[in-house]
Amino acid sequence: MSRRPVQAAKAKNFKKTMLDLIRHLRPYYGKIIFVLFITVIGTLLTIAGPKISGEATTLLFNGIVSKASGGPGIDFMAIFRILAFLLFIYLLSSLITYCSNWILSGVSTAISYNLRRDISLKLNRLPLKYFDGQTHGEILSRVTNDVDNISQNLNSSIQQILSSVVTVIGVLVMMFSISWKLSIIALLVIPTSGLCAAFIVKKSQKYFYRQQTYLGHVNGHIEEMYGGHIIVKTFNYEDKAIADFDVMNEELFTSAHKSQFLSAVMHPVTVFLGNVGYVAVCLVGGLEVIQGRIPIGDIQAFIQYVRQMNQPVSQVAQILNILQAMAASAERVFEILEEKEEDPDTEHPLSIYDDKGNINIAGNVVFENVRFGYDPDEIIIKNFSMYVAPGKQIAIVGPTGAGKTTLVKLLMRFYELNGGAIYIDGHNINDFTRHDLRSLFGMVLQDAWLYSGSIKDNIRYGKPDASDEEVIKAAKMAYVDHFIRTLDDGYDTEISEESSAISQGQKQLLTIARAFLKNPKILILDEATSSVDTRTEQLIQKGMEDLMKGRTSFVIAHRLSTIKNADMIIVLKEGDIVEVGNHQDLLAKGGFYAELYNSQFEG
Give the 3-state DSSP-derived string for 538-585, with helices as H, strands as E and coil as C. Answer: HHHHHHHHHHHCCCEEEEECCCHHHHCCCCEEEEEECCEEEEEECHHH
What is the pTM (predicted TM-score) of this model?
A: 0.65
**Is 207 in the same domain as 304?**
yes
**Is 212 in the same domain as 65?**
yes
**Is 77 in the same domain as 48?**
yes
- pLDDT of 536 reads 66
How many whole angstroms separate alpha carbon 493 and alpha carbon 457?
10
How many whole angstroms separate alpha carbon 279 and alpha carbon 182?
11
How many whole angstroms separate alpha carbon 510 and alpha carbon 498?
14
Q: How many domains does the chain have?
A: 2
- pLDDT of 529 reads 67
Q: Which of 337, 369, 385 is the last residue of a domain?
A: 337
How many whole angstroms separate alpha carbon 527 and alpha carbon 509?
12
How many whole angstroms separate alpha carbon 396 and alpha carbon 580?
10
Confidence of residue 227 (pLDDT cuts 50, 70, 90): low
Q: What is the mean pLDDT of the chain?
A: 81
Tens digits of per-residue pLDDT, 357-402? 788 888 899 999 999 888 888 888 888 888 888 888 888 888 877 6
More confident of the two residues 344 and 11: 344
Tens digits of per-residue pLDDT, 108-129? 888 889 999 999 889 888 888 8
Query: How many whole angstroms from its chain centre is CA 64?
Result: 66
- pLDDT of 5 reads 36
Q: Which of 51-65, 251-265, 269-283, 478-492 has the lowest mean pLDDT?
A: 269-283
Q: Which of 309, 337, 365 is the last residue of a domain?
A: 337
- pLDDT of 10 reads 46
Tens digits of per-residue pLDDT, 505-541? 788 888 888 888 888 889 888 876 665 667 767 766 7
Residue 453 domain-assigned (yes or no): no
**Is 50 in the same domain as 175?**
yes
The residue segments making up the domain with residue 43 are: 14-337
- pLDDT of 602 reads 59
Average pLDDT over residues 427-436: 91
**Is 115 in the same domain as 183?**
yes
Average pLDDT over residues 440-460: 85
Average pLDDT over residues 168-179: 84
Residue 527 domain-assigned (yes or no): no
**Is 332 in the same domain as 360?**
no
Closest CA to 212 of 22, 17, 16: 17
Query: How many whole angstroms from its chain centre is CA 530?
Result: 34
How many whole angstroms separate alpha carbon 500 and alpha carbon 483?
15
